[in-house]
Amino acid sequence: MGKQSQTQKEKLWTGSYLLLIAMGTMTSTCFYMVNPTITKYAVGLGASVAAAGVISGLFSITALVARPFSGLVADRVNRKRLLIFSTCVMGLAALGYSVSRTVPLLIAFRILHGVAFAFSGTVNVTMIASLVPRSRLGEGVGYYGLVNIFATAIGPSLGLSLGDAFGFGLSYVISGILLFAAAGFALLIPLTQPPSPKGTARKGIRLDDLVSLKVLPLALLGGLFSMSNGIIGSYIALLGDVRGIVNIGLYFTVNAAVLLLVRPLAGKLSDRKNGLLLVFPAMLLDGAALLLLGRAGALWMVSLAAVLKAMGQGSGQPTLQAASLKLLPPEKSGVASSTFYIGGDVGQGLGPMLAGAMVGACGADSAGYGVMFTCASLIFAAGLLGFALYRLKQKGSPLPAAQAEEG
């Protein structure tokens, strides 16, 4: 009986887990339906191009500010209700875009969307951590990461096609309806909130209720992968222009295809003893991809960089995320999740800004982009050194990797 009970406990593919994956797919797709179109929509309302860029960026800034509070709330309230509420608010924001006829109103809904997105993302991963067996958390996070890959493949083209054919207002209405439907999926998830440890009072807010200092080093390392994503996404098209590389958009297709293969396998490997060691080759591969892009003069080199980048990010980021969730007890999964996302928010936002400043200083020509991508790769060298020091400091502690559950 004991063995059968243990087998049942270790089951990954439950109905609740599948519902969360379906929800994540819908919410991420709706995000990518809206995000690439918002600047064009803002310009249509009378905003300048510079102002439209600020309106677009407000989303990330708002999400970054809200992220620590999302972890706190996710650890203190019913997570299922919070997921339903935040998803409905995102739906309301999407509908709000469609009725916005002035720039200030559009800004208000953009801020609302950013706050709701921060809470939804945090609580969704927190619920994954609650539902998936701790011994298979890396695998569960790895499969869940495929959601974003599917969404990036579907969302932007769907949003742009609908906008061009029928107007962006209708695209936002459809996005809002899909988000309300996704909230309905959450109603079917039977989730109980993990109990608080005995003898602990939940009164007051401490720093570690907002940001976990234990998780922060892993979050910063994870942010390096997001940083390289932001840099490549922002500047690869311009790199193709200055170097005459035709069809450089093939990078994203190759990258997505390899990610689909790498993430599930990396998730399983990260659950093994010393699985966190996957981060070493992952960072080397991501740094090598940036270095290769800095020297790329042909499409085959760009495609090879896409493969290296996918292998690096696809194994490193989910490994770090699962390790972050395992680092804290289940009742603190919210702050573990939100702290990890803070690293991603900072990297995604700061990377393109620093890279743009470097191109501005070195020149927006082939050599300038080469210097920028090369310097970005050197950040991963610094990250490798930082991770090595982190591992030395944690030597003898079972917490950073899955051996806490297996040891």
Question: Considering the domain boundaries, does residue 54 fall inside one?
Answer: yes
**Which residue has better confidence, 89 or 16?**
89
269 & 395 share domain: yes
CB contact at 8 A, 210 and 67: no
CB contact at 8 A, 11 and 133: yes
- The answer to which of 99-113, 165-179, 256-270 has the lowest mean pLDDT is 256-270
The dihedral through the CA atoms of 258, 261, 262, 267 has a sign that is positive
CB contact at 8 A, 233 and 36: no
137 & 252 share domain: no
**What are the pLDDT digits (tens) for 273-326?**
777 889 999 999 999 999 999 999 999 999 999 999 999 998 998 899 888 888
Question: Considering the domain boundaries, does residue 63 fall inside one?
Answer: yes
pTM, two decimals, is 0.76
CB contact at 8 A, 98 and 174: no
- Domain stop point among 158, 190, 222: 190
Total length of the chain: 407
Most confident residue range from 67-76, 155-164, 371-380 = 371-380
**Of 110, 118, 105, residue with least CA distance to 93:** 110
328 & 268 share domain: yes
Question: Considering the domain boundaries, does residue 201 fall inside one?
Answer: no
- Give 324's contacts (C-beta < 8 A, 6+ positions apart): 215, 218, 219, 222, 336, 337, 339, 340
Question: Considering the domain boundaries, does residue 123 fall inside one?
Answer: yes
52 & 110 share domain: yes
Q: Record the tokens describing residue 229, joined without a space.
A: 């994503």
| Confidence bin at 198 (pLDDT 50/70/90) | very low
- Give 316's contacts (C-beta < 8 A, 6+ positions apart): 221, 222, 225, 278, 279, 282, 283, 286
C-beta neighbour count of 159 within 10 angstroms: 25
262 & 383 share domain: yes
143 & 228 share domain: no
Could you give the CA distance from residue 363 to residue 57 in angstroms, rounded to a whole number?
25
Residue 406: per-residue pLDDT? 38
Question: Considering the domain boundaries, does residue 206 fall inside one?
Answer: no
296 & 333 share domain: yes
Question: Considering the domain boundaries, does residue 1 fall inside one?
Answer: no
238 & 377 share domain: yes
Query: How many domains is the chain built from?
Result: 2
For residue 372, give the CATH number of its domain.
Answer: 1.20.1250.20
**What are the pLDDT digits (tens) for 114-148?**
999 989 988 888 888 888 887 888 788 878 878 88
**Of 280, 335, 288, 332, residue with least CA distance to 310:** 288
- Domain stop point among 157, 190, 223: 190
Domain hosting residue 145, numbered range: 12-190
Residues 261-287: b if buried by 16+ CB within 10 A, e if exposed: ebbbebbebbbbeebbbbbeebbbbbb
- Domain stop point among 159, 190, 221: 190
pLDDT higher than threshold 90 for residue 330: no
**What are the pLDDT digits (tens) for 215-272?**
999 999 999 998 898 888 778 888 888 999 988 888 888 888 898 888 888 878 877 7
Question: Considering the domain boundaries, does residue 39 fall inside one?
Answer: yes
68 & 168 share domain: yes
183 & 292 share domain: no
Q: Record the tokens describing residue 153, joined without a space.
A: 């493949």
pLDDT higher than threshold 70 for residue 199: no
Residue 36: per-residue pLDDT? 76
